Structure 1
Amino acid sequence: MKIRPPAVFGYSLAAATAVLSTAAMAQAATGGETTARAKPAAMSDQIEVVTVTAQKRREDPNKVAMSISAVSGEQLQNQHVNDITDLTRIVPNISFTAASGNGGAGPGTSNIEIRGISSAAGAATVGIYLGEVSITVGNVYTMGSVEPKFFDIDRVEVLRGPQATLYGASSMGGTIKFVPNEPDLKAREFNVYSEASGTRGGSPGYAGSVVGNIPLIQNELALRIGAQAQHTGGFIKQVDGGGNVLAKDINQVADQELRVALKWKPTPALTITPSLYYQKVDAKDISAFNTDLPNYQALKQVREPSKDILLTPNVTLNWDLGKADLTSSSSFFERKFDRTQNGSAYNSYSLSTFLTSTEDGVTAPPALIDAIAALPSAVYLNNKVRQVSQEFRLASKPYDAALSPWTWIGGVYFSKQHTNIAENDPIFGVNATFAQFGFSSEDPNILPDSFPGAFPNDNSFSGAFHYSERQASVFGEANYHFTPKLHGTVGARYLKGKSTLDQRNGLYLAGAGNNSSTTLSSTAFTPKFALTWEVDPANTLYASVAKGFRLGGSNVFVPPTTCGPDLQQNGIDKGPATYAPDSLWSYEAGGKSRLLGNRLSVNASVFYVKWSNIQQGVYLPTCAYTYNANAGDAVSKGLEFEIRAKPMAGLTLSASGGYVKAELSNDKGLQNGIVGAVKGARIQGVPEYNAAVNARYNFALGNQFAFVMGGMQWVGSSKGSLNPDQTDYERPAYHTADLSAGVSLGRYDLSVFVKNALDNDTVIQHPQVASIVQGYRVAPRSIGMSVAAKF
């Protein structure tokens, strides 16, 4: 399979494109405080406490021995946080990097990292949950993490550090949980939201949503249903070689969401909640432009659209057994992701290099070589992921000193995930071009190793790949309270996994072709230890040690006929069939305080992570293939903090930030052919720091309520590659500013907002794709207004 050169587009692109483009929130259904909808809370001098389910039970985050950011639906809406990529601005130590070899960043192609645990190869390093459904997918070259929209969301929980005990493999950097609003058995309510905005030099954006909560049988059965449609305006122009504009605003994105949930409480002890979430993201192109052209102009022969469809039905059962609570979660997850890449710089150029010129004493004229190199080519990628999973867990009641010093939770988890990928790489007009010059594409005198039918319907590569992964695990945690204020936690998970790759590929650019199957089995034991000291009701100190783990996997076939020189340079005759698991140990200490009568909260933590046997992508520059290998170790260390204050009723101030130093700790990666993988090299895609400040003031305006709000975000410098010779090696730091204001008029909330108010146009990434240096800027300033109503 031909893997595209690893142009790694990071957190900055995803965050800047999503946040600074049209902010189509459609979050009226969260019950949030868009203006002064929740008037008592708006004017309160108490800081809101967002409860979490990080440890699979609802509790105060200040009592949990881990670094957690819990962002409520109200806060998401207030700050126009539109989707998961926006979290990289307001939550410490989260970053984004494009999946290895994606050759162009767009929606659904990035991977999430926490605390510098960044790897664009192998399994994911961060677990993603939508409600009770795990939607974590591997770092295959064709796609990245699933990116749920923030529609009808109660809160988002970001759990930093390994979460393998309760969340399994691929939660080695942390876990992100999207917790939707549940149906209310009592209140009938309808929420509507609409928004319109404009982007400087681009097309307009708009959004609309409606959510209804309908009790069908009072206190027993309720339905919650909502729909949303959004359109984010584009600002990139497609041009031809003469600078003529072929199409405007090509990077527009449209998405639609539907969520349905039913809550049935047939008895006081039993609750059954079936739910379904559907999402479709239709991107017309990516946001790349050419750095040697005027701002926001892209010279490309082939457009690069994508369509990403997500479906997640789930049935959750909660049963109060008296002395313990039983939870069953039965889930199905399906993702269909079809996308097109502009393959002209890879396929057409690569084919032209195989032609032998008359200047070398053979037959192909230079004009034919140039004509082949100039042909347009596409890479058609059709991806489909399906997963079924089942989890049973039994949890004790919350701690009660009068009953027992113990609390505990235990369970079992099973999952089966299938990923099917189909790839076709046509070089449009290749057969006609050979015929135009009086040659055949099947002539081995001008095209080495040619064969009959090498380019059927102009296709140069055809591949079909089927990944299968099974997991089974048993897990548990126990807490023992030495005193009511001091307790220790011991947890562990034992996991067995098996992954299989069946692949078939052929046609000319596949070399000799390949039909093969590889299997790898993995086991892991991931313990966790923590100590929590509740100094007093307002202050908690903790320390923890935990292990994280990723499953190993199988590699796509690397043809030795075309990649022989690269493989030999790396000291091997053929690409490895599999790569092994990797793991890490994380050491963390922190404190959480609520001071001045809950008018000031301060959370801070420090961490040190030792990462062993890292799964890395090895790029073969001559033949443009990639395989995964275990190469080198790393250390990541740093800190994060979050501060919120209410110095007076109605005024909320917040500041957050994180610092990460993530570096390779030996030269093993260099020995395995990864250029630049030397001791001390910074792990790619990880910003050195990120920080955000925000201020919001709610006030009375006559008989109504109003607000004004402003915030700034900073993202530190990072490395886009381990190789210092790559154009994207140095990524600059940048900052943005956002403003908003609004008023409540009876049942209606009106607001205006400005994203990227300073109109920062920093080139935040500049990867090279073949001979072309692409650029990504912070999206231009956008201005919009919204109307929300509750009935």
Structure 2
Amino acid sequence: MKLHLYPTRVIPFGLSALSLVVGSVLFPAIGYAETKQDNVDQTEINKAKSTDAEMLERIEVTATRRTTTVQETPLAISALSGNMLKRNGITSVEEFTKMVPGMNIQDSGPGSKRISLRGVTAPGEGTVGVYYDEIPISGTVGVSSDAGGRTPTAALFDVNRVEVVRGPQGTLYGASSMGGAIRTIFNKPVDGYEGAFETSYGDIAHGGVQKSVDGMVNVPLVEGLLAARLVGFRKTSDGYIDNVFLGIKNVNSSTKEGGRAMVRFTPTEDITFDGMYLLDKTEAGSNTWNPAIGEYQTVSQINQPFEDTTKLYSGTLNWDLDFAKLTAAVGNFKRSTEYNMDDSYYIDTYLNEDKCQSRWNDGIACSSDELSAYYDYVNSLTPAVLQHKGYMTNKTYEMRLTSNGEAVFDWTVGAFYQQRDDYVQSQDGAADEATGRLIEPIELFYRRYILDNLEQKALFGETTYHATDKLDVTVGLRWYDYQKTVTGETTNAWELINAFEKPKTSVDFSESGNLFKGNVSYSMTDDMMFYGSAAQGFRPGGANNVIGLAEMLTGYESDSLWNYEVGMKSSWLDRDLQFNAATYLIDWSNMQVRGRTTDGAFSFLSNAGSAQMIGLEMESGWRITDDLFVSGNVNFINAELTEDQVSDVVLAAGKKGDRIPYIPKVTAMLSLSYSLPQILSGFDSSIRADVNYVGSSYTELRPDDTYYLKMDAYTLANLRFNLDSATTGWGFSFYINNLFDKNAIVYDAGSYDYPHEDATSAMPRTIGVTVRKDFF
């Protein structure tokens, strides 16, 4: 089957509920920002400040593909410098989430993280573009065509900055950036000797300890021409979840290790080439537990290890051509994963007379002897392991020209190409009853293979017209074309669960279209800017590869959205106070959703209905005194369906007014940093406290869905004390994360088989120390 779609997209009219004027004049509530400081004077630079107060200083970003500051950029963007990440103990994107209004991560276990911005979350391809420098990174599709649910995240050591752009970035960043984009910018090799070292030790409540070691060394290989930078890291955790079925403590122990090797070649002052090899390896146990059993307890009958190895080979050329800057980036991202899941309780659901009749006795009621024999067979299958192995290669190529200098028009034009190949092997086998480990050689129940190939190409451009020294108008356009081929084969049948042998079959999907962006900004003063924008985003469609699924349910189409936004950026009180705000309305059409067949047997992707998000986000930072700094952010959002998701084949798809799952109406963060009097000679000391609030949400669309669960609101508090010496490079930190040891459930899912609910939580209270040393 081959489906060709050539959609015509028009701009809908009406910007109801966009009331920035009201939101923007609210008191400077929680949020943070960087400032426009082209002409900042030396007295401002020399002000004593806490670590967090660096947010008020100039941090350059390149989200628009040209260098600006956050306050100069007419987009909703947050950024944290590498120094701020280090001093605040942020080592992962998960820890960074609280710093960004409207950012959410659904963490359903090792390797299973779904990132969303502004409530744009759904199964399928990712809704947030994830970049390492110039290279887009994709999750693996798995058996459920859900690349967005398996997004890899980088270790944040020796990072220059992290940028988060909220709202669709379709024209410059393409597919799967319909909610926004996250860019991790690594420090590059420099022409000099540098080094850094950091180690940390923490005690986890209800569990063991966590330890980490990070290091960096920078060496000039050929003075003025070639330099290298090596980064290495290792982080271990003993875990805190106990398997009461197998009698094993701390089953969610983990080890994450890897590094980066980078070179910078500068043959002339106009040409720079950066090459990088990145390696990230994770070995972990499942961090899901069963609330019906007890806090941080699981009754899984099997050992559930997870292994993930990611590698990235990349090269980026920057060439200043006087009239424009040429950027050419090539990346080859490889990922291999292997993980085990417990299939035992699912198999136990077949222990009933109806299944004996339908799956064992050709539709005839089973006699007592037949029923006994059937039960003996089903019981012989447990404990059982559902094992998934996946291999992905994602090659990307991008070339663009960005105009230089000051002119009436600024412009960027470019081309993009992607070839992603996914291979998935899924199989069921027997496990050892005593240890829960997969028996090898495997006692195979069934096996199937999936090949998922995605090819994308695009041409894009943006131009900004500087109508006056205060008024800018930007227009962007992207043409895209993609083809997706999904191939499946079941080589070993398991008729008990209707997994019949299936020959290799393929389904092709292709689509082309255009994405539009329009933006107008007006700078009333050097410290006050207003902007408005309308932008599109989309995700590719594809095909399900689900055992026993009817052919009519195999394919699903792309979904798309329009984001309408009005925002302001401002600085006050001689730039000691900054306040940014944006209000937005998102219309999401032809949503991709996870549905179930009417008999409840199969889960698959489909298109059903539309949704709307109306939100207000604010972020602010205030240097109250030279020693005291307060910052924070808040996001209010109403994310719900705008029409019934009517379908004859999807169970409990959703109705108008249903809230989008896993999206709280309110999230907020408030932090306070205070520079203390000198405690130790030669060291600056400071203390930081932050409080993070996440409102309640639900796990499914329909309140009458069997698996509809409420996730309660929670508040987490952290405390950190820092000692830092600028002259010696030494630094020390004492921290308490999750100060009050809250069991905050960050992901929950219902199931019809025992124990009916699987949850993951934020890390329990962790008390630790960090020692670091910078060498220059």
TM-score (norm 1): 0.85
For 1:761, give the aligned amino acid: N
In the TM superposition, residue 126 of structure 1 has moved relative to its aligned partner by 1.0
Partner of 1:741: 721
Alignment of 1:389-788 (within 5 A): 389-398=396-405, 400=406, 404-428=407-431, 458-505=443-490, 506-508=492-494, 509=497, 510-559=499-548, 574-620=551-597, 622=599, 624-669=601-646, 672-699=649-676, 700-701=678-679, 702-724=681-703, 725-744=705-724, 746-763=728-745, 765-769=747-751, 770-772=753-755, 773-788=757-772
Cα shift at 1:595? 1.7
Residue 77 of structure 2 is matched in structure 1 by: 68
State the SS of the aligned residue for 2:370: coil
Deviation at 1:298, TM superposition (A): 1.2
Paired residue for 1:453? none
| 2:136 corresponds to 1:147 | no
Determine the structure 2 residue equivalent to 1:162.
Answer: 168
1:183-332 matches, cutoff 5 A? 183-185=189-191, 187-240=192-245, 246-283=247-284, 285-332=285-332
Rate the CA distance shift 1:737–1:83 in 2: closer, same or farther, 3 A.
same
Name the structure 2 match of 1:101.
none
User: What is the CA–CA distance in structure 1 between the aligned matches of 2:48 and 2:309, rounded to whole Å?
Assistant: 37
Match of 1:129, SS state, is strand
Q: How far is the alpha carbon of 1:293 from its aligned partner?
A: 2.7
CA pair 94-536 structure 1, distance change in 2 beyond 3 A: same
- Shift, 1:460, TM fit: 2.3
Does the CA contact (< 8 Å) of 2:523 and 2:530 recur in 1?
Answer: yes
The total of aligned residue pairs comes to: 701
Give the aligned residue type for 1:287.
N
Q: C-alpha displacement at 1:393, in angstroms?
A: 0.2
Contact 2:608 2:653 in 1 (8 A): no
Change (3 A) 1:587 1:139: farther
- Aligned mates of 1:410, 1:160 — CA distance in 2: 22
Mapped contact 1:717–1:733 kept (Cα < 8 A): yes
Q: Does the 8 Å CA contact 2:141/2:452 hold for their aligned counterparts?
A: no
Equivalent in the alignment of 2:97: 88
Structure 1 residue 48 displacement after superposition: 2.1
User: Could you say what secondary structure the match of 1:668 adopts?
Assistant: coil
Q: Counterpart of 1:789?
A: 773
Deviation track 1:734-787 (CA, whole Å, cap 9, x = no partner) reads 011000112235432111000110111245554333131334444321100010
In 2, the alpha carbon distance for the partners of 1:69 and 1:258 equals 26
Question: Displacement of 1:643 after TM fit?
Answer: 0.4
In the TM superposition, what is the alpha-carbon distance from 1:97 to its structure 2 partner?
Answer: 3.1
Structure 2: which amino acid aligns with 1:354?
Answer: K
**Mapped contact 1:558–1:575 kept (Cα < 8 A):** no
Displacement of 1:574 in angstroms is 4.0
Closer/same/farther in 2, CA of residues 766 and 322 from structure 1, 3 Å limit: closer
User: 1:271: how far off?
Assistant: 0.6
> Which residue of the partner structure matches residue 21 of structure 2?
none
Determine helix, strand or coil for the equivalent of 2:68.
coil
Q: Which residue number corresponds to residue 565 of structure 1?
A: none
| Alignment partners' CA distance in 1, 2:69 and 2:671 | 23
Cα distance in 1, alignment partners of residues 198 and 46 from structure 2: 19
**1:29 alignment counterpart:** none
CA contact (8 A) 1:613 1:630 kept: yes
Equivalent pair of 2:235/2:257 in contact (CA under 8 Å): yes
User: Structure 2 regions of 5+ residues with no counterpart?
Assistant: 1-44, 434-440
Question: Equivalents in 1 of 2:46, 2:74: separation in Å?
Answer: 33
Larger deviation, residues 506-515 vs 361-370: 361-370
CA root-mean-square deviation? 2.4
| Equivalent in 385, 388, 403 of residue 392 of structure 2 | 385
Query: Is the 8 Å Cα contact of residues 151 and 257 (structure 1) preserved in structure 2?
Result: no
- Letter of the structure 2 residue corresponding to residue 684 of structure 1: P
Post-superposition CA distance 1:23-78 (Å, at most 9, x none): xxxxxxxxxxxxxxx99774697722321111112211222221001111122223
Q: Once structures 1 and 2 are overlaid, which stretch shifts more, 416-425 or 643-652?
A: 643-652
User: Is the contact between residue 242 and residue 249 of structure 2 (CA under 8 Å) also seen in structure 1?
Assistant: yes
The one-letter code of the counterpart of 2:453 is S
Shift of 1:355: 2.8
2:32 is matched with which residue? none
Q: Which amino acid aligns with 1:136?
A: S
Distance 1:150 1:624 in 2: 41
Q: What whole-Å deviation, never above 9, does each CA across 1:666-700 have from its counterpart, x for those lacking one?
A: 11245552405000000111121211111112233
Contact kept? 2:112, 2:151, Cα under 8 Å: yes
SS of residue paired to 2:375: helix
Q: Could you say which residue in structure 2 is the equivalent of 1:32?
A: none
Q: Matches of 1:350 and 1:175 in 2, distance apart?
A: 44
CA deviation profile, 1:90-141 (whole Å, cap 9, x unmatched): 211111236xxxxxx2122121111111102x22111110111110236543
Task: State the one-letter code of the partner of 2:734.
Answer: V
- The match for 2:116 is 113
8 Å CA contact 2:50, 2:674 repeated in 1: no
Instruction: Point out the more displaced range, 742-751 or 164-173.
Output: 742-751
Name structure 1 gaps, 5 residues minimum: 1-37, 99-104, 431-455, 561-572
Structure 2 counterpart SS, 1:364: helix
CA distance in 2, matches of 1:502, 1:293: 40
Give the direction of change, closer, same or farther, for the CA distance of 1:667–1:271 in structure 2 (3 Å limit).
same
Is the 2:60–2:69 contact (alpha carbons within 8 Å) kept by the matching residues of 1? yes
| 2:58 counterpart SS class | coil
Go from structure 1 to structure 2 and tell me whether the alpha carbon gap of 1:303 and 1:313 turns closer, same or farther (over 3 Å shift): same
Deviation at 1:633, TM superposition (A): 0.5
Amino acid in the other structure paired with 1:744? D
CA contact 1:631–1:672 (8 Å) conserved in 2: no
> Residues 197-231 of structure 1: CA distance to partner in whole angstroms, max 9, x if unpaired?
10112111100111011122333321111101001
Distance 1:495 1:656 in 2: 35
Deviates more, 1:382-391 or 1:218-227: 218-227
Q: Distance in 2 between matches of 1:752 and 1:428?
A: 44
Match of 1:134 in 2: 136
The AA in structure 2 aligned to 1:65 is P
Aligned equivalents of 2:624 and 2:215: distance in 1? 35
- Call closer, same or farther: CA 1:574–1:747 in 2, change over 3 Å: closer
Return the offset for 1:260.
1.2
Give the Cα–Cα distance (whole angstroms) in 1 for the partners of residues 595 and 672 of structure 2. Answer: 45
**What amino acid is the match of 1:601?**
Q
Whole-Å Cα distance in 2 between the matches of residues 247 and 132 of structure 1? 43
Could you tell me whether the CA contact under 8 Å between 1:713 and 1:735 is conserved in 2? yes
Q: Give 3-state SS (helix, strand or coil) of 1:118's partner.
A: coil
Question: Alpha-carbon deviation of 1:387?
Answer: 1.3
Q: What secondary structure sits across from 1:316 in the alignment?
A: strand
Q: Does structure 2 retain, via aligned residues, the 8 Å contact 1:557–1:575?
A: no
1:585-632 Cα distance to aligned partner (Å, 9 max, x none): 110010011222221111100000101100112223746322211110
Question: Following the alignment from structure 2 to structure 1, what is the Cα–Cα distance between the partners of residues 216 and 375?
Answer: 59
Are the counterparts in 1 of residues 577 and 621 from structure 2 also a CA contact under 8 Å? yes
For 1:365, what is the secondary structure of its paired residue?
helix
What code does the residue aligned with 2:275 have? P
Offset at residue 316 of structure 1 (A): 0.5
Tell me by how many angstroms 1:299 deviates.
1.1
Q: Which residue of 1 aligns with 2:41?
A: none
**Quick check: 2:389–2:424 contact (8 Å CA) kept in 1?**
yes
